[in-house]
Amino acid sequence: MRQPLVVGNWKMNGRLGEAEELARAIAGAEVDWEHVSSGICPPFPLIDRVASAVQDSPVAWGAQNLHQEDSGAFTGEVAGPLLKDLGCTYVIVGHSERRDYFGESNELVAEKFFAAKRNGLIPILCVGETEAERDAGKAGEVVREQVQAVLGDGKEDVFRDAVIAYEPVWAIGTGRTATPEQAQEMHALIRGLVKEAYPITGQSLKILYGGSMKAASAPELMAQEDIDGGLIGGASLKADEFIGILRAAVASDL
């Protein structure tokens, strides 16, 4: 019922030439696109290039961040209306690297989430606990707070037309993947929270797993009931790995 979604987060990687080549390889891959949706989120200056490379394919594109305001004196920032002009479908908000290195709080992430929605972009809200939080038995509590910061008083159906990515911080870029059981437990918790407020939205919400997912680990993860695809960092920079993950997503949908 929920078609899988696989999104590549290129982070601060890619130069003009290679970006186009990689995007073209993904767009032209032999994948059963009837059974998977996909997007690429390159650094801001590469968005237009990637868009040109994939625009005649089923692959969408997006950004890795946006400012919470729609315009203004915020040197070095990029706002939602421009991302919309660039044809972005998705924008990642609250990635753990932004929370950690750029001090983004739950409150700021919520503001960015709503800026995305206000501008007709699909926010991919990243949530996830650190290793210390998991070891202290606080993984559920941390993730609940991160989701709750966006859900607020529950008066609005905020997760309609949105995506959540569960990304345990200890698994991002480390080569350590959460076990399918660990990931499923957290995905079920997240879906439960949204369902409590909005049953239909909770049921249809795509919840992606992120954290060192590779073509080899994707099938088992995506076989879990509440895992609807992946947010892919390192492996999205290698065409064959990313295409392998897309194919695993297709297989999970059949």
- Residue ranges binding ligand PEP (CB under 6 A): 9, 11, 167, 172-173, 210-213, 231-235
Task: Kindly name the residue from 95, 104, 133, 241 that is annotated as catalytic.
Answer: 95
Q: Which is nearer to ligand PEP, 173 or 192 (CB)?
A: 173
Q: Which is nearer to ligand PEP, 7 or 59 (CB)?
A: 7
CB of 94 to ligand PEP, least distance (A): 11
CB of 230 to ligand PEP, least distance (A): 8
Which residue's Cβ has the minimum distance to ligand PEP? Answer: 233
Q: From CA 157, how far away is CA 227, in angstroms rounded?
A: 21
Q: Which of 212, 208, 247 is nearest to 228 (CA)?
A: 208
Asked if 133 is an active-site residue, the reply is: no
Q: Which of 231, 126, 150 is nearest to 198 (CA)?
A: 150
Asked if 187 is an active-site residue, the reply is: no
Q: Which is nearer to ligand PEP, 168 or 197 (CB)?
A: 168
Tell me whether strands 229-232 and 5-9 are parallel, antiparallel or unpaired: parallel
Q: Which is nearer to ligand PEP, 134 or 197 (CB)?
A: 134
CB of 96 to ligand PEP, least distance (A): 8
Task: Kindly name the residue from 97, 104, 129, 167 that is annotated as catalytic.
Answer: 167
CB of 171 to ligand PEP, least distance (A): 6
The residues assigned a catalytic role are 95, 167
